[in-house]
Amino acid sequence: MNSIEKTFIRMSGLGGQGVVTAAHILGSAANKDGLESAVNPFFGAEKRLAPAESYVRISSEKIFEKGEILYPNIIMIFHSHVITLGKCYTMPFFDGIQEDGSILINADLPLAIADEDLERLAKLNAKIYYVPATTIAKQIAGSELSTNIAMLGALYGIRKLTTMEALQVAIQERFGGGKFVASGTTAVLDDAVKSKFAKISQMIEKNNELITAAGAALSEFSLLK
């Protein structure tokens, strides 16, 4: 992959869902494709179910910006409570979304989003996609801890920011002995994911299945009534 327009991704979820890990994998995959990336996690108290966000910038050109992404092209919602209970550092959850942007939501069924919010998104020509990422993670990997991999698979189905080969290698390196550790809690979660499988090769195989299944389960929500 030689060129790509500058893309800004905001990932919002809850502690324990692997939002930080997903951002690192995506940024690493971009680098493997010869692209520039900048990854910044943001979270408060390191505890399960506390709000967590990560920001990923990907471009063919040098990236000088760091920190929070205020105007994302893509927003990934890892848990429905980000929307339904406001467990998010950015309110409303789609704040700052650019025109023609995409929103990917992890939910089995469409959520009850206010009509005025849907109207605002329609005016921006934004698109909402749903994927049952946690359900797929439980079915294929046997654990909701693999929700982040399913979300990356769904993202690939929306927009191919990296090649599939680079994404798979980045996942393998992340769980196969990579040196990156964002925090102690993230390292513990990585170890928990690994413990679900007898061999790393088995985990990689399941992750590849997750990516394919999530892409196939992706559905677009119509903003028109």
Q: Count of residues for the chain?
A: 225
Paired tokens of 77: 């919602």
Rounded distance, CA 153 to CA 23, Å? 13
Q: Which CATH superfamily is domain 7-221 in?
A: Pyruvate-ferredoxin oxidoreductase, PFOR, domain III (3.40.920.10)
Which pLDDT tens digit goes with each residue over 76-121?
A: 999 999 999 988 888 899 999 999 999 999 999 999 999 999 999 9
Query: What digits encode the pLDDT tens for the residues 190-214?
Result: 455 545 544 566 777 888 999 999 9
Compute the mean pLDDT over every residue in the chain, rounded to the nearest whole number: 87
Q: How confident is the model at residue 42 (pLDDT cuts 50, 70, 90)?
A: confident
Question: Are residues 87 and 77 in contact, defined by beta-carbon separation less than 8 angstroms?
Answer: no
CB neighbourhood size of 179 (10 A):
5
* Share of residues in the chain with pLDDT > 70 (%): 84
Contact 47, 90 (CB under 8 A): no
- CB-based burial label for 31 (10 Å; 0-12, 13-18, 19+): middle
Query: What are the extents of the domains in the chain?
Result: 7-221
DSSP state of 34: T
| Interatomic CA distance for residues 210 and 205, integer angstroms | 9
pLDDT tens per residue, range 134-162: 999 999 988 898 999 999 999 999 999 99
Confidence of residue 5 (pLDDT cuts 50, 70, 90): confident
